[in-house]
Structure 1
Amino acid sequence: MKGFVIAAPRSGGGKTTVALGLMRAFRQRGLRVGAVKNGPDYIDSAFHGAATGRPSFNLDSWAMDDCLVAGLAATAAQDADLLIAEGSMGLFDGAPGDLARNGASATLAKKLGLPVVLVLDVSGQAQTAAAVALGCARFDPEVKLAGVILNKAGGERHVRLAASALETIGLPVLGALPRDAKIVLPERHLGLVQAADTADLGAKLDALAAFVGAHIDLDALRAAAQPMVPASARTNALDPPAQRIAVARDAAFSFLYPHLLLGWRRAGAEISFFSPLQDEPPPRDADFCWLPGGYPELHAGKLANAQKFLQGLRAFASEKPVHGECGGYMALGEILTDADGLRHRMAGLLSVSTSFAKRKLTLGYRHATLAADGALGPRGKILLGHEFHHATIETLGDDPAFALACDAHGGEKKPVGSRRGRVTGSFFHVIAASNEGS
């Protein structure tokens, strides 16, 4: 399997636009395109799936060991003609510490043995773009740059100035995308509006494909792809919490990593879905209920009025375990205050009350040790995950903590989340269980 990584020197440089456009364009050429996303961003992988017609997985070298990264990459690439990996942040940006486990796009490229195609935003510069690219090429000699795509390029002179400088350092220019305000995807407070909620997504992806196809040399790009390196592989990131798992899935609860479902199914677990927004309770024959993250703050009134869901969830929790992540944690609490300051009563299975009226961005990796035995593992088990939300805790209540956690910088672990009886929840999303001791 051959592929490449789409990366950039910084966030906002155009990686997602280029990656989605290329995925769709190559698919329109009749290729089977596999896709993966570096890092913990759970929104982009759904867009990959829409562009390619195949599942996309998040690969995270901070939270996942090499076997898990290799196994998920191989699954994404299975029966495909080309693998496109979308990077995150800047090419070398990642967590502190071990460079082999820092979550950077460059680290993923090295683990998979794939070359990097560098997307350079050249607005406001010309030849200087070559200096930036040269720095990326020399910073880590093990990272191989296959070429450059210029983004937000001006006229022909601008492109010629930047391209000539890049050619002097031996980096081919594989394309130059002009500024085009129409080629954008809608955004919300956690990034892009979810793929399922994006109006006319197919038409938007087709427009991206036409845009990149007109300005990027697709034949040269495909020729630059290199084979992935073979490696020991597995796909189970977290043991199934039960045999029959009920998962909430709709516009309010949609942020569940696809690789978790893949691993659970391959381990023999049965997955069923239900919609709280359609006032559906968790299926009675399930053994465990998972409420993923999402946008409950946008649907708080409807959730508060979904009495079949709320009563069914309470009845389920009286006999079987329930876990909520981020938005799911908010729904398990007492009160959710929306952006307008309106207070909505939630399930009341945990003592926490949360607010979207009082916003604060919380973002980063989490290294969490379970505080008590539960469906996700025994006391002392380590879970590695990611937190990304604007909601705040209004009142924590008196429930004990779900886990003790710190971020990627280390330091003293602090109580996070809540647990009461069989119910647990926290703001962080689990990416994988750690094999290290507590």
Structure 2
Amino acid sequence: MILPKDKKAFMVSAMKSGSGKTLITLGLINIFKRKGKTVSIYKTGPDYIDTMYHEKIAGSPSTNLDPFFLEPEYRPGELKNLFFRNFTGDMAIIEGAMGLFDGVYGEGKRCSACIVSEEIGIDAILVVDIDEIDTVGEYLKKFSHRVKTVIVNKVPIDYDISVIRERLSESDLTLMGFLYYNENYHMESRHLGLNEPGKDIFKIVDKLSDELSKTLDFKLFEKFTLNIDCNIPSYKAKDVTLNNIMSKYRLAFAFDEAFSFTYNENIKVLEEYGFEIVKFSPLHDKNLPKNISAIWLSGGYPELYTNELSSNFSMLESIAKAKDIPIIAECGGFIYLHKNFEDNNGESFRGVGLIDGKAFKTKKLVRFGYIEIEAKSDSVLMKKNQKIRSHEFHYFDSTNNGEYAHALKANKSKEWDCINAYKNIFAGFPHIYLRGYEFLIENLIEYLERKSNV
């Protein structure tokens, strides 16, 4: 198929983290919504929180386009297909993770935002601070790229804008717009990125959109036209019916303030395979949903809700007694399953107790980054020698990280054992991504089928 010529798509990137990409992206989403456009939103990399902000402002889901999980050389065409399958609006805006060329450490621009723009075939707008404009040209010389325009952030109110245009033109770059410095255009950071979005985000973004609308050259957006011949396969789950089990299984999926880190694609994959997703709250609900076949405890911030989680005794007991159904837990969910887990101050609290150990706070990121995991034996989710790509991003560690699988950093610089997998449990710090790894769900269904036939 060839997309209509009035479809627009572009990326918002930067030279480094903290340059205001997320705020500018939210402002652009809001501006084009005001113009009556429907916007499809994306984020490169394994980010959870920025996508929450996207969804708050856009009022529609945001899709992760991860260049490691679906690396073009590893899963040919899948990254592009994922982009087009979720392109349902008039315009697509992709926010790049970190800097434009930041990806797997020590391996050039591999798995960077730049790779995503090249794979899809779209240009990127570079967001730079005013004190970076003299270094943009040199930065872009490092690798090939698709950057022609720049939005300058934190411009002093009395700055001569013609000077910015002149300096950018020396690098064959065009000023698309700028934002005057305003201390109110700021979102507090937290140890895992930005805070989850609160009600004040709408006021901040509305004000920012008003200011940005005055400086943007909207004619330049006409150049971001998509006219790409892309054969998009309609996805059909492999052998999805498996003994006519469609909609036979109900999966209790943890989702609340403490457990909110999951990929929208994960839910889609589970539903494509016939699972009925039943969301529940370990924070607020007293018991698990009824008639469930499996439990999924996603990542999040359980350390910020230790009092509430540990005092919800009926939920702790409900999960602890669910010994006959698969329990899958990633990162924050894994922390919650421990006998004890700490808060950010190092105070210990009671957990579910299915992991014999303690999850504790450290002072730095632990085993941070992209990894490949290989299973050493069969489990509810993986079979021996099967491999998946994943990532870890946490300040917590455990006295019992598990030895079920072996993890290897993407750049092969480090390796370690991880994940507790025994009987009905599959739990560890690595985050799970299902698109491209649908065999994980096929394994889960096979486990459930065997169990139902016993």
Above 0.5 in TM-score? yes
- The CA distance in 1 between the partners of 2:388 and 2:407, in whole Å, is 9
1:131-146 pair list within 5 angstroms: 132-133=136-137, 135-136=139-140, 138-141=141-144, 143-146=145-148
Match 2:79 to one of 69, 93, 98: 69
Residue 350 of structure 1 deviates from its aligned partner by: 1.1
Aligned to 2:449: none
Instruction: List gaps (5 residues or longer) in structure 2.
Output: 1-6, 440-454
Residue 53 of structure 1 deviates from its aligned partner by: 1.3
8 Å Cα contact 2:40-2:91 kept in structure 1: yes
Matched, 1:346 2:351: yes
Matched, 1:107 2:112: no
3-state SS, counterpart of residue 226 of structure 1: coil
Aligned to 2:271: 265
Matched, 1:254 2:256: no
1:15-94 pair list within 5 angstroms: 15-64=21-70, 65-78=75-88, 80-94=89-103
Matched, 1:367 2:372: yes
3-state SS, counterpart of residue 247 of structure 1: strand
Match 1:299 to one of 305, 308, 325: 305
3-state SS, counterpart of residue 432 of structure 2: strand
Question: Aligned letter for 1:120?
Answer: V
Aligned to 2:280: 274
Q: Deviations over 1:36-73 (max 9, x none)?
A: 00111111111111111111111111111343322321
- The CA distance in 1 between the partners of 2:178 and 2:125, in whole Å, is 13
**1:239–1:53 Cα change, 3 Å:** farther
Question: Aligned letter for 2:181?
Answer: R
- The CA distance in 1 between the partners of 2:47 and 2:31, in whole Å, is 23
Question: Aligned letter for 2:87?
Answer: A
**1:159–1:237 Cα change, 3 Å:** farther
Range with bigger deviation, 336-345 or 82-91? 336-345
Residue 82 of structure 1 deviates from its aligned partner by: 0.7
- The CA distance in 2 between the partners of 1:180 and 1:161, in whole Å, is 20
Residue 30 of structure 1 deviates from its aligned partner by: 0.8
Aligned to 1:10: 16
Aligned to 1:154: 156
Aligned to 1:379: 384
Residue 96 of structure 1 deviates from its aligned partner by: 5.2
**1:404–1:111 Cα change, 3 Å:** same
8 Å Cα contact 1:370-1:379 kept in structure 2: yes
Question: Aligned letter for 1:90?
Answer: G
Q: What fraction of aligned residue pairs are identical, expressed as a percent? A: 29
Residue 2 of structure 1 deviates from its aligned partner by: 2.2
3-state SS, counterpart of residue 203 of structure 1: helix
8 Å Cα contact 1:3-1:228 kept in structure 2: no
Aligned to 1:405: 407
Residue 402 of structure 1 deviates from its aligned partner by: 3.4
8 Å Cα contact 1:177-1:216 kept in structure 2: no
Residue 95 of structure 1 deviates from its aligned partner by: 1.1
8 Å Cα contact 2:101-2:108 kept in structure 1: no
- The CA distance in 2 between the partners of 1:320 and 1:335, in whole Å, is 22
**1:412–1:154 Cα change, 3 Å:** closer
Question: Aligned letter for 1:117?
Answer: I
Aligned to 2:4: none
Question: Aligned letter for 1:45?
Answer: T
- The CA distance in 2 between the partners of 1:238 and 1:327, in whole Å, is 30
8 Å Cα contact 1:114-1:227 kept in structure 2: yes
Instruction: List gaps (5 residues or longer) in structure 1.
Output: none
Question: Aligned letter for 2:379?
Answer: G
8 Å Cα contact 2:379-2:421 kept in structure 1: no
- The CA distance in 2 between the partners of 1:114 and 1:22, in whole Å, is 17
- The CA distance in 2 between the partners of 1:298 and 1:273, in whole Å, is 20
3-state SS, counterpart of residue 186 of structure 2: coil
Question: Aligned letter for 1:53?
Answer: G
- The CA distance in 2 between the partners of 1:380 and 1:280, in whole Å, is 39
Q: Deviations over 1:281-326 (max 9, x none)?
A: 332322111101111001111111112211111222x110101111
3-state SS, counterpart of residue 68 of structure 2: coil
Range with bigger deviation, 404-413 or 53-62? 404-413
**1:208–1:403 Cα change, 3 Å:** farther
8 Å Cα contact 2:237-2:273 kept in structure 1: no
What TM-score, normalized by structure 2, do the two folds share? 0.86
What TM-score, normalized by structure 1, do the two folds share? 0.88
Residue 330 of structure 1 deviates from its aligned partner by: 0.5
Q: Deviations over 1:115-137 (max 9, x none)?
A: 111112123x55x14xx23641x
1:168-207 pair list within 5 angstroms: 168-195=170-197, 198-207=198-207
3-state SS, counterpart of residue 386 of structure 1: strand
Range with bigger deviation, 229-238 or 299-308? 229-238
Residue 346 of structure 1 deviates from its aligned partner by: 0.5
- The CA distance in 2 between the partners of 1:319 and 1:300, in whole Å, is 27
8 Å Cα contact 2:8-2:222 kept in structure 1: no
Question: Aligned letter for 1:226?
Answer: T
Match 2:360 to one of 355, 362, 368: 355
Q: Deviations over 1:126-160 (max 9, x none)?
A: 5x14xx23641x4444x322311111122454432
Aligned to 1:225: 224
**1:265–1:46 Cα change, 3 Å:** same
- The CA distance in 2 between the partners of 1:8 and 1:238, in whole Å, is 39
Question: Aligned letter for 1:215?
Answer: T
